[in-house]
Amino acid sequence: MWIENKDEIVEAGNHFIEHILNGHGITPGKHNKYLCISPDHNDNEPSMVMYNDHLYCFGCGKSYDSLETVKVLDGLDTKEALKKLADIAGVEVKYKNDKEMLNMYKELSDILIHDYNKFPKEVKEYVAKKKLDYRKFDDFDVGVFNPKQFRSVISRYDAHKVHKLNQTMLNKPTSLIFTIKDIKGRPVAFAARDCTGAKPKYINTSTTIYYKKSRNPFLIDRVLDYKYVYVVEGYTDALLMQIKGIPAVAIASATVPEKTVETLKDLGVEGIIVVLDGDAEGIKGVNRTIAKVLPESGMKCAMKRLPNGIDPDEYINDKGVSGFNQLPMMPFSEFWMRENKELKPRERLNEILKIMSKAELGNPSNHFNALEKVCNEMDINYNVEDIKKMYRSKVVLEKLPGIMDSMHKAESEIRYLRRTLGDMLERIDD
């Protein structure tokens, strides 16, 4: 759904620009000017002026209405910034459905060819190489498009909607097509895998009001009833795992997006097991996930480390589901210590303890025991109790500012209540 009363929200929000700035501790300085809010402008002398409905910087020439101000200061995309601005300005957000777009994706999904015998030679070879059970393709809406049927469907729809399809890749008979659905099971996007060896290997349909890649990982509709879900990179990895009965989603990225974790958490998923590709980029992606996503997510997380250069589908085809299940589950702290080669061992320990102080640990003992083991291997002379003490100190440093802020607020409330009570008693005495 898209927001149809954007202009109304922005116009109302323009009266609250000063309120928005004050909320971020930004106040006017010399000559009633503000420091520029542009992240690209290192403004040492206040050069931004507030007008009735916008801000203007005489230093860099940039102008900001209320929407752009919220986007910059809060780091939000347009939709989320509009929702926040509407809340500030007291305006109701009005959404509009575009059912025609959903109809187009549904109609295209319905004409997908699932019959392996009708696949082009290149697609057959790719499916055989990946050892995918093509008898299940109908269940997962995976297949190929007949170019003539594809063109017939899209000819009936608005050019803007058709443009979102990135149809060049979809319309190639040598592309294996994956239907991406939302949590309601509705087709909202497609991913095409070129089977000729050409690049790019994969291409997704564009972002729409119903589809955003980070919010709609492939097979999200298949994990609604699971507490723990595997997160993998490739579409064929997730498809093979689902066919084998392993709950998995594909993110088409080396780093688990924050929005993917949020979506899974909203569905009631309690923890994720990250199994990204065993190459250098996959390992870097896991470490970025540990450092950037986990601390803020509140999601339990563990890792499975694949042998170098091996993808999940290759490992499962070689070792079977039982072999995959026997791969040890690794606490994210242990993965970080073993695989973050950019830092020295003691630096790794210091950083992972900081991350742990902000993250959901699940079973803390697993982390402490794993860290002790890795420290011993790296000739760092720390036992479990030493690590616990260091972890506690990180927690205190992390939580202390919030605790102090709460105490100051409580003290202010107490002073206010004392003054109020004193005033009441004086009036009673009078």
Architecture of domain 99-204: Alpha-Beta Complex (3.90)
Q: pTM of the full predicted structure?
A: 0.72
Q: What is the pLDDT along the chain (430 residues), one digit of tens a residue?
A: 578 788 899 999 999 999 999 999 999 887 888 999 998 888 888 889 999 889 998 888 889 999 999 999 999 988 899 999 999 999 988 776 678 889 999 999 999 999 999 999 999 999 999 999 999 999 999 999 998 999 999 998 877 678 777 777 777 889 999 999 999 999 999 999 999 988 888 888 888 878 889 899 999 999 999 999 999 999 999 999 999 999 999 998 888 888 899 899 989 999 999 997 777 888 888 888 888 888 878 889 999 988 887 889 999 999 999 999 999 899 999 999 998 888 899 999 999 999 998 888 888 999 999 999 999 999 999 999 999 999 998 888 877 666 666 676 677 667 767 777 777 777 776 6
3-state helix, strand, coil in the chain (%, to 5): 55, 15, 35
8 Å CB contact between 206 and 217: no
8 Å CB contact between 270 and 166: no
Residue with tokens 């199994």, as numbered in its chain: 275
Q: What residue spans define the domains of the chain?
A: 2-95, 99-204, 220-328, 343-430
Listed in sequence order, the residues at least 6 apart from 21 whose beta carbon sits closer than 8 Å to its beta carbon are: 27, 34, 37, 69, 73
Structure tokens at 24: 């971020």
Phi, psi of 151 (to 5 degrees): -65, -35
Q: What is the DSSP string of 162-198?
A: HHTT-HHHHT-TTEEEEEEE-TTS-EEEEEEEESSS-
Residues belonging to the chain: 430
Report the CATH number of the 2-95 domain: 3.90.580.10
8 Å CB contact between 131 and 320: no
For residues 43 and 47, what is the distance between their CA atoms, to the nearest angstrom? 7
Q: pLDDT value at position 385?
A: 94
Amino acid sitting at position 11: E
- CB atoms closer than 10 angstroms to residue 290: 26
8 Å CB contact between 176 and 123: yes
Structure tokens at 37: 């809010």
For residues 238 and 180, what is the distance between their CA atoms, to the nearest angstrom? 12
Phi-psi region of 154 (alpha: psi -120 to 50; beta: other; left: phi over 0): alpha
Quick one: fold of 220-328? Answer: Dna Topoisomerase Vi A Subunit; Chain: A, domain 2 (3.40.1360)
Structure tokens at 214: 């980070």
Distance of CA 226 to the CA centre of its chain: 19
Distances 388 to 330, 356, 359 between C-alpha atoms, Å: 19, 11, 15
Q: pLDDT value at position 252?
A: 85
DSSP state of 290: I
> What distance, in Å, lies between the first and last C-alpha atoms of the chain?
61
Q: pLDDT value at position 406?
A: 66
Phi, psi of 144 (to 5 degrees): -130, 155
Angle, helices 99-110/147-154, rounded to nearest 10 degrees: 160
Cis peptide, bond prior to residue 200, ω within 30 of zero: yes
Helix (H) or strand (E) holding 10: helix 6-13
- Which residue stretches of 252-311 are H helix? 258-266, 280-288, 294-297
Structure tokens at 4: 């149809």
Structure tokens at 345: 């061992």
